[in-house]
Structure 1
Amino acid sequence: MFQNLDVFRTAMAMARHAGLQQAYSAQNIANADTPGYRAKALPEFTSTLRQSMMGQRATRAEHLNGTVGRQVEAFERDDAVDPNGNSVSLEEEMVFAVNAKRQHDRALAIYRSNLNILRTSIGRR
C-alpha cells in the first residue's frame, strides 16, 4: 500500500521548481540595469512534470538509464527589450516571484495534507 508514494515526490519537485524560479527572478531583478542582460525563466511546472513522466526514471544513482531528478533548463525571455538591450521588467519579475511563492506554498500544503492522511491511516496522529 505504501510502496508507491509519488505524491510526495511530486510535491517535492514542485517545491524545487518554485525555488528555482524564485532564484531566477532574484537574478533577473539584480541584473535589471545590466546592459544586454536577458531575463531568464523556467517553463511551467506542468510541462516539466509531463516531460519527466514520459521518459525512464532511475530510483538510484547507479542506474544506467533515466535520471534521478531531472534538471529543468531555463530559457531566455525575449519580451520587450530596453534601448540598452536589457529584457528585464521589474513588474513582471514581481509577478513571477509571487507566483513562485504561491507554487511553493501549494507544494508544502500538498505535502502536509498527504502526510496527515498517511499518519491517520497508520493510526498515529
Structure 2
Amino acid sequence: MFDKLEIFRMAQGLAVHAGTRQAVIARNVANADTPGYRAQDIADFADTYRKTGDDMRLRTTRAGHLPDAETGLRAAAIREDDVPSEPNGNSVSLEEEMLKAAETKSKHDLAIAVYRSSLGILRTSLGRAR
C-alpha cells in the first residue's frame, strides 16, 4: 500500500541514482592513470526520472485542459564526458571527480532525509510514535 506513494518512489529513485553515479565516479578514479580511458558520467536525476503509471498522471477535467506530458523513466545511460584529454588519451580529472563525488553524496543524503521525513509524517498520521 505505502510502496505506491510517489514521495517514497522518488526518494528511492534518487538514492539508486546517487549510488549508480558514485560507482561510475569510482571507476573513473580507478582508471585515472589508464592510457586512453575516457571519463564517464550518467545523466542528472531530473533528466532520467519521470512519473510512470496511469495513477500518477495529471487528471484533466475537460479536453485541452492539460497538454500531454512525456512520461516514463528514462535509463541513466553512461556517457563520456567532453573533457580534453591528456597526451596519453586519458580524460579523467581527479579534481572534477572529487567535486562530482561530493555532489553525489549530498544528493544521496537528500534522498535519505526525504525518506525519513516522509516516514515520520506517515507514522504521525497513523498515530504511531517514532
> For this structure pair, what is the TM-score category when the shorter chain's length is used for normalisation?
0.7 to 0.9
- The aligned length equals 113
CA distance in 2, matches of 1:86, 1:3: 43
Please report how far the alpha carbon of residue 71 of structure 1 lies from its aligned counterpart in structure 2 after TM superposition: 3.7
Paired position in structure 2 for 1:104? 108
Paired position in structure 2 for 1:91? 95
CA distance in 2, matches of 1:3, 1:75: 31
Change (3 A) 1:120 1:42: same
CA distance in 1, matches of 2:18, 2:2: 27
Residue ranges of structure 2 left out of the alignment (5+ in a row):
55-70
Change (3 A) 1:2 1:37: closer
Change (3 A) 1:86 1:47: same
Paired position in structure 2 for 1:35? 35
Provide the identity percentage.
Answer: 51
Paired position in structure 1 for 2:13? 13
Please report how far the alpha carbon of residue 2 of structure 1 lies from its aligned counterpart in structure 2 after TM superposition: 5.8
Normalization by structure 2: what TM-score?
0.79
1:47-69: CA deviation from partner (whole Å, max 9, x where unpaired): 111xx33xx549xxxxxxx98x7
Paired position in structure 2 for 1:117? 121
Match of residue 82, structure 1, among 73, 79, 86 = 86
CA distance in 1, matches of 2:123, 2:86: 53
Contact kept, 8 Å, 2:38 with 2:92, in 1: the verdict is: yes
Please report how far the alpha carbon of residue 86 of structure 1 lies from its aligned counterpart in structure 2 after TM superposition: 0.6
Paired position in structure 2 for 1:25? 25
1:7-27: CA deviation from partner (whole Å, max 9, x where unpaired): 000000000000011101100
Residue ranges of structure 1 left out of the alignment (5+ in a row):
59-65
